[in-house]
Amino acid sequence: MSADPRSLDAAETRRRPPAAQRWALWFFLSAIVGGLLVTLIWLAGRYEASREQERLERDAAEALSDVRSAMGRNVQSLQALQAGSPGVQAWGAEAQRLLHERREMLRIEWRDAQLGVRAAVDTPYRPPVFARLGRASAQADVQLACANARRSSGAGYAASYFVPQADGLGLEVLELCLPQLAGGQITGFVVATYSLADILANLVSPHLTRSQEVSFTEADGTRLALHGSTRRGTRVFSAQQLLDLPGYTLVLRLDSWRGQPDVFPNVLTALVTAMSIALLAVLFLLGKDTRRRLQAEHELAEALAFRKAMEDSLVTGLRARDLRGRTTYINPAFCAMVGFAPEELIGRDAPMPYWPPELAGEYQKRQEIRLAGHNAPPREGFESVFMRKDGTRFPVLIIEAPLIDARGVQTGWMSAFLDISEQRRIEELSRASQERLQATARLATVGEMASLLSHELNQPLAAISSYATGSLNLLEPRAGGVDPADLQLALRRIAEQAERAGRVIKSVHDFVRRRDKAREPVAPQALIDAVMPLVGLQARKLGVQVVTRIAPQLPAVLVDRTMVEQVLLNLARNAMQAMDAAGVAQPALVIAVRQAGGGSTSGNATGTEAGWLEFSVADRGPGIPDEVREQLFTPFFTTKAEGMGLGLSLCRTVVEQHGGFLAFEANRPQGTIFRFTLPAEGAAAHAPALPAEATTA
Ligand code: ADP
């Protein structure tokens, strides 16, 4: 793999010939192959023709030798006729037998020395040849033949001639003359008349005439006699042989026909043609294959270019190493990350130049372990520190995976690198701001605690102050003197309230710290009793009648006692203040406790509601106007000049911390009822729903 995509592209264009050149190459190749094939077929055709010609020549020679030897045999047979000076009768019988045997001879005559006919026999196979014209018409030819015979003292022939026949046709005949010698003197002649057509039909072997035409012609080509198959095809092959008879020369001609044009003249040509077609087919397939290859090559180049573009545009650094730890590939992002050029890194072995020198030993060990294949790299990657070329260190996240080739064999390791300096910076920033936030939150908590304390301490302090004022009043000199019992009670109340203030401080502190305070089971009666002295104090001051209604046999509630007392105190105080502010004629406060679910103590509560107690504080005040209703539980919301607006929000928080609900509803005929639920000992985990008419905030 090369790190420079440009050099790759350049090499690619150099290697690939332009399309026109490629097409020209294909054109030439096709032309050459085509030319070769045409030549081959033509040569094969010519070869075939020459073979045919040769065969024909051989056949012609064979036919000629057939004719020649048969005619020689005939001459001997004719000579044998005269042997032993036979009588005319006996000669006739013998000649008859000969003509019976030799169909090519039409007539045999015995002539005297002056060529007068002594005896004559005609062939039994056809009507006498000279019946129409008379034998005398051929006298000249007979004389010529016998003159030749006389001159050579052997068989002599004369030129053939045409004898018309009764059936309208005619015969080309040839005269043969044999001299009859006795004591060196010619005593007579045997004249035989050959039919040229019958010579061809009977003397040439049938296998030669079966598929070709055999004929006698004159030297100038005039056809004299013909035998053989009818013409087929258009192309003619001819072979000629000379039949030189003493006194006359004939041309024996053999004609053979062949189809023309003959595309597949023989097996050889067919084979060559088939091979040519196969070659063309292979060429075609090769062409198709090349086209497919070109297409694939093109697609591959595109895929490669796409992958390169992808690799180059990545911000993740990529690096491949072989199994010996040598770097074989890096992408531009990696080079940019470490600041080294590709040439400085490719082919490099450990220690790499981007390893900080102080960590090189550790990295070297890590690499050795990795290459030995002892431990697989973690999938989620691991962090490391690299060094840029300028010496600055930066943290990287490395994700390594084995590099598997197409055959599934591991060829090395592939690593991805993420520069996480920016991430680190952001983490640091967020950590700092988190710390600042926590500090702010702590400050806010302190503020909240201070507000709560000041709010909750108001009551015990006010109580202490009024008990102290009362005690001082008691100590004033008067007639009856001081009743120590009164003073003792006042001082005890002061001590109680001081202690209560201490508890408030502690539980408010715990509450703000959200510490889970150990809850304790407290009887509802005990809770009411604990708040009654303070409630009674204020009630007496404001002239409010306080009524408590505690259902019998209620279980204890599991609560943070002080906080719940605060809730009761807050609600009672709010109720009395509201009635006082509105100037209600007969102010009355009802504090009630019963089983939750709206039922009586008899326990018609459903299973889920069992174990929850409902506390209610009802007044006959002016009720809560709509505009106040929405903000009732908002901290610091108050309608009173000296109010802090924290009471109800604190109450709700406390009740909800116990798992209960705090809600309010209008009281009939006037006023407000605040209700809240608390878990009885061993209660279900969740609070029961409050009555439907209750408005939860
Ligand atoms: P604070 O008592 O300091 O004002 P609270 O949160 O206890 O703060 O009460 C908020 C407001 O709710 C009161 O200012 C008052 O207007 C209203 N409120 C509370 N209880 C009653 C009630 N029983 N009847 C009428 N108004 C009430």
Q: What's the gap in Å between 645 CA and the centre of ligand 1?
A: 7
Measured by CA distance, the residue closest to atom 16 of ligand 1 is 639
Question: In the numeric block, which tokens belong to residue 578?
Answer: 């509201």
Question: Pairing mode, if any, of strands 117-122 and 105-112?
Answer: antiparallel
Question: What local confidence, expressed as pLDDT, does residue 694 receive?
Answer: 41
**Does residue 444 or residue 85 have the better pLDDT?**
85
pLDDT tens-place string over residues 407-440: 989 888 899 999 988 888 888 887 777 667 655 6
* 63 CB neighbour count, 10 Å cutoff: 24
Is 11's pLDDT higher than 60?
Answer: no
Residue 644 CB–ligand 1 contact under 6 Å: yes
Q: What's the gap in Å between 620 CA and the centre of ligand 1?
A: 14
DSSP state, 390?
Answer: T
In the block, residue with structure tokens 């130049």: 353
pLDDT tens-place string over residues 528-574: 998 888 888 788 888 899 999 999 999 999 998 888 988 998 899 99
Is 599's pLDDT higher than 50?
Answer: no
Q: Which of 47-61, 371-385, 459-473 has the lowest mean pLDDT?
A: 371-385
Question: What local confidence, expressed as pLDDT, does residue 262 receive?
Answer: 53
Question: What local confidence, expressed as pLDDT, does residue 695 receive?
Answer: 41
In the block, residue with structure tokens 């003959």: 262
Half-sphere exposure of residue 187: CA atoms within 13 angstroms, side-chain side? 8
Q: Band the pLDDT of 15: cuts 50, 70, 90.
A: low
In the block, residue with structure tokens 């019976």: 100
Question: Pairing mode, if any, of strands 235-245 and 382-387?
Answer: unpaired
* Type of residue at 484: P
Question: What local confidence, expressed as pLDDT, does residue 7 receive?
Answer: 47
Classify the C-alpha dihedral 223-226-228-230 as positive or negative. positive
C-alpha 463/C-alpha 504 separation (Å) is 14
pLDDT tens-place string over residues 449-458: 677 778 778 8
| Burial letters 179-217, b for 16+ CB under 10 A, else e | bbeeeeeeebbbbbbbbbbbbbbbbbeeebbeebbbbbb
C-alpha 86/C-alpha 190 separation (Å) is 13
Interval 85-108 mean pLDDT: 91
Residue 686's Cβ-count burial label (10 Å; 0-12, 13-18, 19+) is exposed
Question: In the numeric block, which tokens belong to residue 281?
Answer: 């087919």
User: To which H or E segment does residue 474 belong?
Assistant: helix 421-475
State which of 94-98, 162-166, 276-280 shows the largest mean pLDDT. Answer: 94-98
Q: What's the gap in Å between 643 CA and the centre of ligand 1?
A: 8
C-alpha 72/C-alpha 35 separation (Å) is 55
Measured by CA distance, the residue closest to atom 26 of ligand 1 is 624
Interval 46-60 mean pLDDT: 88
**Nearest ligand 1 atom to alpha carbon 642:** 3
Is 261's pLDDT higher than 60?
Answer: no
Q: Band the pLDDT of 495: cuts 50, 70, 90.
A: very high
pLDDT tens-place string over residues 135-172: 888 899 999 999 999 998 899 999 999 998 877 788 89
What average pLDDT does the chain have? 84
Q: What is the 3-state secondary structure (H, E, C) of 262-294?
A: CCCCCHHHHHHHHHHHHHHHHHHHHHHHHHHHH
* 679 CB neighbour count, 10 Å cutoff: 22
C-alpha 108/C-alpha 155 separation (Å) is 14
- Which residues 6+ apart lie within 8 Å of 42 measured at CB? none
Q: Band the pLDDT of 485: cuts 50, 70, 90.
A: confident
Q: What's the gap in Å between 672 CA and the centre of ligand 1?
A: 11
Interval 294-305 mean pLDDT: 93
C-alpha 199/C-alpha 242 separation (Å) is 15
Interval 172-179 mean pLDDT: 94
Question: What local confidence, expressed as pLDDT, does residue 598 receive?
Answer: 55
- Residue 122, φ and ψ in degrees, nearest 5: -100, 155
pLDDT tens-place string over residues 16-31: 567 788 788 888 888 8
In the block, residue with structure tokens 């209610």: 616
Q: What's the gap in Å between 648 CA and the centre of ligand 1?
A: 7
Interval 9-17 mean pLDDT: 52
Interval 274-285 mean pLDDT: 86
Is 378's pLDDT higher than 90?
Answer: no
Q: Band the pLDDT of 512: cuts 50, 70, 90.
A: low
SS3 (DSSP) at 350:
coil
Q: What's the gap in Å between 633 CA and the centre of ligand 1?
A: 9
Residue 574 CB–ligand 1 contact under 6 Å: yes
In the block, residue with structure tokens 């074989």: 328
Residue 672 CB–ligand 1 contact under 6 Å: yes
Question: What local confidence, expressed as pLDDT, does residue 444 receive?
Answer: 63
Question: What local confidence, expressed as pLDDT, does residue 5 receive?
Answer: 45
Q: What is the 3-state secondary structure (H, E, C) of 295-351?
A: HHHHHHHHHHHHHHHHHHHCCCEEEEEECCCCEEEECHHHHHHHCCCHHHHCCCCCC
SS3 (DSSP) at 203:
helix
Question: Pairing mode, if any, of strands 248-258 and 213-217?
Answer: antiparallel
**Nearest ligand 1 atom to alpha carbon 637:** 10
| Residues β-bridged to residue 242 | 251
C-alpha 390/C-alpha 65 separation (Å) is 112
Q: Band the pLDDT of 514: cuts 50, 70, 90.
A: low
Q: Do you find a cis peptide bond into 552, omega within 30 degrees of 0? A: no
Interval 372-387 mean pLDDT: 81
Question: In the numeric block, which tokens belong to residue 214?
Answer: 């055999």
User: Do 411 and 418 meet the contact criterion of CB atoms below 8 Å apart?
Assistant: no
Residue 640 CB–ligand 1 contact under 6 Å: yes
State which of 38-42, 256-260, 265-269 shows the largest mean pLDDT. Answer: 38-42
Question: What local confidence, expressed as pLDDT, does residue 231 receive?
Answer: 66
- Which residues 6+ apart lie within 8 Å of 592 measured at CB? 548, 549, 550, 551, 615, 616, 618
**Nearest ligand 1 atom to alpha carbon 671:** 24
Task: For the chain, list the domains and their CATH numbers.
Answer: 314-426 (3.30.450.20), 440-515 (1.10.287), 518-697 (3.30.565.10)
Provide DSSP, 30-70.
Answer: HHHHHHHHHHHHHHHHHHHHHHHHHHHHHHHHHHHHHHHHH
Measured by CA distance, the residue closest to atom 23 of ligand 1 is 575
Q: What's the gap in Å between 446 CA and the centre of ligand 1?
A: 24
**Does residue 3 or residue 489 have the better pLDDT?**
489
Question: What local confidence, expressed as pLDDT, does residue 600 receive?
Answer: 43
Interval 60-74 mean pLDDT: 93
Q: What's the gap in Å between 500 CA and the centre of ligand 1?
A: 23
C-alpha 56/C-alpha 383 separation (Å) is 98
SS3 (DSSP) at 14:
helix
Is 693's pLDDT higher than 60?
Answer: no
Question: What local confidence, expressed as pLDDT, does residue 439 receive?
Answer: 58
- Which residues 6+ apart lie within 8 Å of 332 measured at CB? 3, 311, 312
Percent pLDDT > 70 in the chain is 87
Q: Band the pLDDT of 193: cuts 50, 70, 90.
A: very high
- Which residues 6+ apart lie within 8 Å of 459 measured at CB? 534, 569, 573
Question: What local confidence, expressed as pLDDT, does residue 153 receive?
Answer: 87
DSSP state, 359?
Answer: G
- Which residues 6+ apart lie within 8 Å of 666 measured at CB? 623, 624, 672, 673
Residue 645 CB–ligand 1 contact under 6 Å: yes
**Nearest ligand 1 atom to alpha carbon 632:** 12
Q: Band the pLDDT of 39: cuts 50, 70, 90.
A: confident
Q: Give, in order, the Cα–Cα distances in Å from 301 to each of 1, 293, 404, 405, 460.
A: 14, 12, 22, 19, 89
**Does residue 538 or residue 579 have the better pLDDT?**
579
